[in-house]
Amino acid sequence: MGDPVTALRISVHQALGGGTVADVLLWKRWYASIGVLVSATTLWILFEKSGYNLLSFVANVLLLLVFILFSWAKSASLLNRPLPPLPNFEIPEEIVAKAAGVIHVYSNYALSIARQIVIDKNLKVFLQLVSGLWVASYIGSLCNFLTLVYLGVLLILSVPLAYDKYQHPIDEKLCLANKIIQAQYMKIDDAILKKIPLPSNKEKKTQ
C-alpha cells in the first residue's frame, strides 16, 4: 500500500486540460512560457509606463497590417507573384457552440444568485456577493484594468507551477484556513444572522 497522501495527489496538468495550455502554464514548454511572460511585460510597460493608448496601438497595428497586405496584393498582381497567404477567415461552429454553452452556464448561475437574493432572501448569498463586490472594488481602486490583467498573467504563470510542486503543504494550509473561516462564520451566524427575522413559508405563499 502506498502513502495515502501521495494517493490523493491531484494531477494539475490534467486539471488544466492536459494540452498545450497546461504545458505552458506549468512551464513544460518553457520557451512558450517565457514568450508569454515577456510579451505581457512588454505590453504592460508599453501602455502603463510610456502612456501609449491601447486603442491607438490596436488601430495603428491594424492600419499597418492592412497597408502591408494591400501593397503585397498590388505588387503581386503587377509582378505575377503569388498573393499573400491568408487563412480562412471563418469561425468554426464548434467554437461558437462552446462559447454559447459557457455563456449559457454563467448566465443561469448569475440568475440563480439573483433569485436566491431577491426571492428566497438568502442572507448568506447576499453577504457573500456584497463581500466579493467590495473586494473587487477595493482591488480596482489600487490599480487600473491593464495592471490587473498583467497581474493575472503573472498569477496564472506562477500559481499552477507552485501548486504542482508544493501541493500537499498548500492543501494543508488551505484546509486550516477553511476551518478557521468556517468557525468564524459560525460565530457570526450564531451571534447576528440567526437573530435577523426572515419571512416564513406561509408568509411567502400569502404574498
Cell of 55: 486603442
Q: Does this model's pTM top 0.85?
A: no
Tally of domains within the chain: 1
- Phi-psi category of 197—alpha, beta or left, where left has phi over 0 and alpha has psi -120 to 50? beta
36 in a domain, yes or no?
Answer: no
Report the pLDDT value the prediction gives residue 137, as an integer from 0 to 100. Answer: 87
148 in a domain, yes or no?
Answer: yes
Report the pLDDT value the prediction gives residue 200, as an integer from 0 to 100. Answer: 53
Q: Note down the domain range covering 131.
A: 121-197
Long-range interactions of 33-41: CB distance < 8 A, separation 24+: 33/157, 36/153, 36/157, 37/153, 37/154, 37/157, 40/150, 40/153, 40/154, 41/150
| DSSP one-letter code for 126 | H
Return d(Cα 205, Cα 200) in angstroms, integer: 9
113 in a domain, yes or no?
Answer: no
Report the pLDDT value the prediction gives residue 199, as an integer from 0 to 100. Answer: 55
Q: What three-state secondary structure class fits 19?
A: coil
**Residue 24 CB-density burial (10 A; 0-12 exposed, 13-18 middle, 19+ buried):** buried
Q: What three-state secondary structure class fits 129?
A: helix
CB 12 within 8 A of CB 164: yes
Q: CB within 8 A of 46, min separation 6: which ones?
A: 52, 57
Pick the closest to residue 16 from 37, 33, 35, 34 (CA basis).
33
Cell of 91: 469561425
Return d(Cα 148, Cα 21) in angstroms, integer: 21
Report the pLDDT value the prediction gives residue 105, as an integer from 0 to 100. Answer: 92
Report the pLDDT value the prediction gives residue 193, as an integer from 0 to 100. Answer: 63
Cell of 96: 461558437
150 in a domain, yes or no?
Answer: yes
Average pLDDT, consecutive stretches of 10 residues, N- to C-terminus, the chain (207 residues): 52 80 87 91 82 79 88 78 70 85 91 85 82 86 84 91 88 89 79 62 49
